[in-house]
Amino acid sequence: MEKNNLDNLRHSCAHLLAAAVLEYYPKAKLTLGPSIESGFYYDIDLGELKIAESDFSKLEQKMHQLVKKWEKFERTEVDSNSALKIFNGNEYKEELIKGIVDKKEKITIYKSGEFSDLCRGGHVDNPKENLKYFKLLSIAGAYWRGDEKNKMLTRIYGTCFATKEELDQYLKMVEEAKKRDHRKLGKELDLFVISDNIGKGLPLITPKGNIIRKQILDYEYELERNSGFQQVFTPHIARSEMYKKTGHWQHYRDVMYAPFGIDGEEYVLKPMNCPHHYMIYTSRPRSYKDLPMRLSEPGTCYRFEKTGELAGLLRVRALSIDDSHILMREDQIEGEFKLCIEMVKKMFKAFGLNNFYVRLSLADPSDAVKYIADEATWKKAGEKLEKIVKDNKLEYKIGKGEASFYGPKLDFIVKDSLGREWQMSTLQLDLFMGKKLNLTYINEEGKEEHPVILHRGLTGSLERTMAILIEHFAGAFPLWLAPVQVVILPISEKFIIQAQKIKDELMKNKIRVELNDDNKSLGGKIRQSTLQKIPFMIIIGEREVESHKVDKVLKVTVRTREGKNLGMFPINKFIDQLQSQIENFS
């Protein structure tokens, strides 16, 4: 089904949900019920009443009953007085009506059966026939208009499809996604902690989680080193004056933390790394021979995300951005974008994320407040990026209004093993900031010019990347990323000495290994290691020890986390296989 038709289907189902809620909770106040990417939701003020997921069955039954009498969505255009009279006592609808009046738009009401709602439209033609395959999914709290100063409403999520097969397939994916939830697996595999004593949205990465983080950073560092990037380090704070000069203050103020004073000057926690890198560039005279200058930093930035939007590692208040800023001449733009695109492709391959496309995020000329005002430069930058996308043969879609305030960008959207889409890498073309901050270099003729800038987030946020990879691999990381690559399982205590020799040999060869010397049965140890999703298990018992005594060669019996027995062979051969797999992962 085409997206517009699917949106209409799901928005229609939101109406149906609202009608069912009023059947059981007639005093409920309805607010908004839009379609979203995965289905729909409706925000409702229930007052002192509560709805739980255990109520979904009766709500769904009522929805199926009601829709049998819904022949169509009947549109009626009304004036503001009539609309306010219809929705008298519902302050949310009254606010929406006043907003429609202020915008000088038409006020429309759509009726199906006995249910009417304030709505702009976008429905199916035959709800009785079309609204059959739906499911209510979850409940969450949501502030009215997304503002924490407003009342908390009850948000009911659901989904709807044109066929039973599509609905069943989606529900199966939802169940699998629950098993893969990085918050659940993060706790089970001991990868990260979010402590109320530290604060919401401030994840603490555990030793095992930090191995994954470091492996990602080490891989990125090698990519960058081979491509001529120079890594820098910058502080976590800066004078607020710097962000006012760049324009971040005006455009990002709502996500920046409150300023604080040092020696009579105003400072802030940095929300992004860009200004710090510019000041490294401008710290000394630059020549055209110095360009392109590729500065990179996995720097931690701080942004105020609303409590209701925090989600494990996916959305945090302290995010580590694997950032780079390439300052270059205009004639270097295409070459530098090609370089970064190739880096992104290599990284996706290493992560097993081979299905991706690009969103070409452009400015929306109708929203002049959101962007730096310079229509000609925006047009030039947008056309340049579209040419780059086509020249590099990237599948792409246009995202109007998705650009940064200082330039258009390429957002790389990956699909994970469940087919879900995630935004990761970003490449932004900035033709403004060099001039705005008077960054200069001396050209071939001895004259000053302003560099242009490529803002590159290789994965974006490292925390978000970890979350995506946890869910993509369901915690069963490839060998190069696995926190523990091998676990040694002695059958009993009398084989501990032999097991320790094996461990020492693996550690000497830089294999991440653990020795499980718990007083448990071998079956129990295997189950424990399987649940921890450790790639390989080494079994040490009488057979392995006796073999060592005969030919003086350490031997191991190897089992995979999938339950496959690889047999017994010399430890050095096993180490060679491990190292080959680790070195050739990408």
Q: How far apart are alpha carbons 71 and 110 in whole angstroms? A: 12
At 586 the pLDDT is 60
Asked whether residue 250 carries a pLDDT value surpassing 90, the answer given is no
Residue 452's alpha-carbon distances to 278, 329, 381, 407, 474, in angstroms, are 11, 6, 11, 11, 41
Three-class DSSP category at 414: strand
Mean pLDDT of the chain: 93
Sheet bearing 318-328, strands edge to edge: 230-231, 293-302, 318-328, 452-461, 421-430, 409-415, 355-362, 396-400
Name the burial class of residue 586, with classes exposed (0-12), middle (13-18) and buried (19+) by CB atoms within 10 angstroms of its CB.
middle
What is the fold, at CATH topology level, of the domain defined by 188-472?
BirA Bifunctional Protein; domain 2 (3.30.930)
How many degrees, rounded to 5, is the angle at CA 369 between CA 380 and CA 277?
A: 65
String of DSSP letters for 387-405:
HHHHHTT--EEEEET-SBT
pLDDT in tens, 451-466: 999 999 999 899 999 9
Residue holding tokens 């930093």? Answer: 297
At 371 the pLDDT is 67
At 464 the pLDDT is 96
At 4 the pLDDT is 67
Q: Which two tokens stand for residue 84?
A: 């306010």
Q: If pLDDT is split at 50, 70 and 90, which confidence band does 407 have?
A: confident
Q: How far apart are alpha carbons 275 and 455 in whole angstroms? A: 12
Residue holding tokens 């059981």? Answer: 24
Closest-CA residue to 170 (of 178, 179, 161): 161
Q: How far apart are alpha carbons 47 and 29 in whole angstroms? A: 8
Q: If pLDDT is split at 50, 70 and 90, which confidence band does 372 have?
A: low
At 363 the pLDDT is 79
Q: Which two tokens stand for residue 447?
A: 């004259």
Which DSSP symbol is given to 71?
-
At 369 the pLDDT is 60
Q: If pLDDT is split at 50, 70 and 90, which confidence band does 373 have?
A: low
Residues of the chain with pLDDT > 90: what percent? 84
- Among the CATH numbers 2.40.50.140, 3.40.50.800, 3.40.50.300, 1.10.1740.10, which is that of 486-583? 3.40.50.800
At 2 the pLDDT is 57
Q: If pLDDT is split at 50, 70 and 90, which confidence band does 71 have?
A: very high
Mean pLDDT, to the nearest integer, of 190-211? Answer: 97
Domain ranges in the chain are 3-175, 188-472, 486-583
At 367 the pLDDT is 64
Task: Characterize 123-138 residue by residue with b for buried, 16 or more Cβ atoms within 10 angstroms of its Cβ, and e for exposed.
Answer: bbeebeebbebbbbbe
Asked whether residue 364 carries a pLDDT value surpassing 80, the answer given is no
Top CATH class, 3-175? alpha beta
Q: How far is CA 356 from the centre of its chain?
A: 14
At 116 the pLDDT is 94
Residues of the chain with pLDDT > 70: what percent? 98
pLDDT in tens, 138-154: 999 988 988 888 999 99
Residue holding tokens 């800023």? Answer: 325
pLDDT in tens, 287-299: 999 999 999 999 9
Task: Characterize 169-199 residue by residue with b for buried, 16 or more Cβ atoms within 10 angstroms of its Cβ, and e for exposed.
Answer: ebeeebeeeeebbbbebbeebebbebeeeee
